[in-house]
């Protein structure tokens, strides 16, 4: 049995309308099933890249079971240090954050580890905010620091399929 809140069975990991009429639209209107092999976005701001590389090396045994994606420099650093394939997008400030966001919206990313720098203003802060917002809209697991990343990567859900709820926000606002 799938270890999710909804435990709904769906094929191919696509958004499927499900019988969720008993749930309020603000809870769920459909689900997406993440496969056992997760597609994990790994992103870090400049002053956090070494932190992410250190975390990834520590979790190499788990990460090598999954598909890794990253923005420009971070993805390249991880591929070199981990000796694993990492699909790289553009650098974050040059459009990589938007590419990751689009991949989340297209169900091409299942979870995100984003070590952002809370003490440094970024020239692309609006892109960072949009990326964090889209990860919440599509209800993907998100870690922004090492402790949260440790909890996510060590979850028993990492090694199983998981159906995550999606909210139809147009229904949510009509129901208020």
Give alpha helix (H) positions in the chain. 49-58, 60-63, 72-82, 96-105, 125-137, 146-153, 169-174
CB 21 within 8 A of CB 171: no
Sequence-ordered list of residues with C-beta below 8 angstroms from that of 86, at least 6 positions apart, any chain: 42, 68, 69, 70, 75, 76, 78, 79
Q: Do you know the residue count of the chain?
A: 176
> What residues form DSSP beta bridges with 88?
70
On whether the CB atoms of residues 81 and 88 are closer than 8 A, the answer is no
Q: Which residue has the tokens 């790289």?
A: 88
**Torsions phi, psi of 36, nearest 5?**
-60, -40
Q: Which residues are catalytic?
A: 97
């Amino acid at each position: 049995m799938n270890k999710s809140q909804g435990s709904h069975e769906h094929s191919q990991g696509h958004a499927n309308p499900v019988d969720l009429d008993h749930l309020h639209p603000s809870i769920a209107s459909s689900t997406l099933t993440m496969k056992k092999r997760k597609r994990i976005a790994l992103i870090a701001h400049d002053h956090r890249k070494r932190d992410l590389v250190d975390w990834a090396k520590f979790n190499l045994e788990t990460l090598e079971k999954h598909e890794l994606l990253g923005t420009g420099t971070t993805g390249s650093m991880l591929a070199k240090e981990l000796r694993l394939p990492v699909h790289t997008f553009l650098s974050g400030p040059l459009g990589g954050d938007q590419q990751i966001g689009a991949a989340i919206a297209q169900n091409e990313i299942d979870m995100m580890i984003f070590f952002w720098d809370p003490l440094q203003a970024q020239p692309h802060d609006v892109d960072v905010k949009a990326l964090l917002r889209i990860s919440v809209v599509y209800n993907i697991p998100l870690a922004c620091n090492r402790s949260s990343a440790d909890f996510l990567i060590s979850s028993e859900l990492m090694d199983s399929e998981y159906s995550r709820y999606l909210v139809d926000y147009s229904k949510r606002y009509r129901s208020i």
